[in-house]
Structure 1
Amino acid sequence: MKVLVLGGTRFFGIHLVEELLLKGCDVTIATRGLTPDPFGDRVKRIKADRTKEEDMKTAFKDKAYDIVYDDIAYCSNDIKYALDNIVCKRYIFVSTISVYDDLHMEIEESEFNPLQGETVWCNREDAAYNMIKQHAERALFQNYASRSAAAVRFPFVIGKDDYTKRLFFYVDHIKRGIPMKIDNIKEPLGFIHSLEAGRFLAFLGDKDFTGVVNAGSKGAVSVGKIIEYTEGKTGKKAVILSEGEEAPYNGADRFSVDVRLAEGLGFSFSKTEDWIWDILDYYILLP
Structure 2
Amino acid sequence: MEKREVLVIGGNRYFGKRLIARLLAAGDRVTVLNRGSSAPPPGAVHLVADRDDETALNSALGSRTFDVVVDQVCYTPRQATVARRVFAGRARRYVMTSTVEVYEHEDSLAPVRETDVDPLSVTVDLELPWDEPEFLDAHYGEGKRQAEAVFAADPAFPYVAVRVAHVLGGDDDFTGRLEHYASRIRAGEPITVPTVNHPATYIHVEEIADFLFWAVGEDFAGPVNAASHGPLTTDELVAAVAARVPGGEPVSFQEVEVGEVSPFSFFRSYGMDNSRATKLGFAFGDARRWLPTAVAETLGKDA
TM-score (norm 2): 0.85
Note if contact 1:26-1:43 (Cα within 8 Å) is conserved in structure 2: yes
For the structure 1 residues 229 and 148, does the alpha-carbon distance in structure 2 shift closer, same or farther, using more than 3 Å as the test? closer
Note if contact 1:31-1:46 (Cα within 8 Å) is conserved in structure 2: yes
Number of the residue aligned with 2:250: 237
What SS does structure 2 have at the residue aligned with 1:28? strand
Number of the residue aligned with 1:42: 43
For the structure 1 residues 97 and 8, does the alpha-carbon distance in structure 2 shift closer, same or farther, using more than 3 Å as the test? same
> How far 1:162 moved relative to its partner?
1.7
Bigger drift between 195-204 and 58-67 goes to: 58-67
Number of the residue aligned with 1:168: 179
Alpha-carbon deviations, 1:235-267, whole Å to 9, x = none? Answer: 422354479984223445233211111111111
Listed as ranges, the matches of 1:177-192 within 5 Å are: 177-183=188-194, 186-192=197-203
For the structure 1 residues 164 and 184, does the alpha-carbon distance in structure 2 shift closer, same or farther, using more than 3 Å as the test? farther
Matched, 1:79 2:63: no
Residue of structure 2 aligned with 1:102, choices 102, 106, 109: 106
> How far 1:233 moved relative to its partner?
4.3
Number of the residue aligned with 1:267: 282
Alpha-carbon deviations, 1:184-213, whole Å to 9, x = none? Answer: 684221101111111111111111101111
Alpha-carbon deviations, 1:139-187, whole Å to 9, x = none? Answer: 11003x2411111101101112221122332123212445543226842
* Distance (Å, rounded) in 2 between the aligned partners of 1:203 and 1:45: 23
Listed as ranges, the matches of 1:127-276 within 5 Å are: 128-143=139-154, 145-160=155-170, 161-183=172-194, 186-234=197-245, 235-238=248-251, 240-241=253-254, 246-276=261-291
* Distance (Å, rounded) in 1 between the aligned partners of 2:267 and 2:24: 36
Q: May I ask how many residue pairs the two structures share in their alignment?
A: 284
For the structure 1 residues 176 and 47, does the alpha-carbon distance in structure 2 shift closer, same or farther, using more than 3 Å as the test? farther
Note if contact 1:124-1:132 (Cα within 8 Å) is conserved in structure 2: no
* Distance (Å, rounded) in 2 between the aligned partners of 1:61 and 1:163: 34
* Distance (Å, rounded) in 2 between the aligned partners of 1:47 and 1:171: 38
For the structure 1 residues 133 and 252, does the alpha-carbon distance in structure 2 shift closer, same or farther, using more than 3 Å as the test? farther
Note if contact 1:179-1:245 (Cα within 8 Å) is conserved in structure 2: no
What SS does structure 1 have at the residue aligned with 2:162? strand
What SS does structure 2 have at the residue aligned with 1:62? coil
* Distance (Å, rounded) in 2 between the aligned partners of 1:166 and 1:203: 28
> How far 1:217 moved relative to its partner?
0.4
Structure 2 portions without partners, runs of 5+: none
Note if contact 1:154-1:216 (Cα within 8 Å) is conserved in structure 2: yes
Q: How many percent identity over aligned positions?
A: 28
Note if contact 1:188-1:220 (Cα within 8 Å) is conserved in structure 2: yes
How large is the RMSD of aligned CA atoms in angstroms?
2.3
Residue of structure 1 aligned with 2:31, choices 3, 28, 45: 28
Listed as ranges, the matches of 1:4-19 within 5 Å are: 4-19=7-22
TM-score (norm 1): 0.90
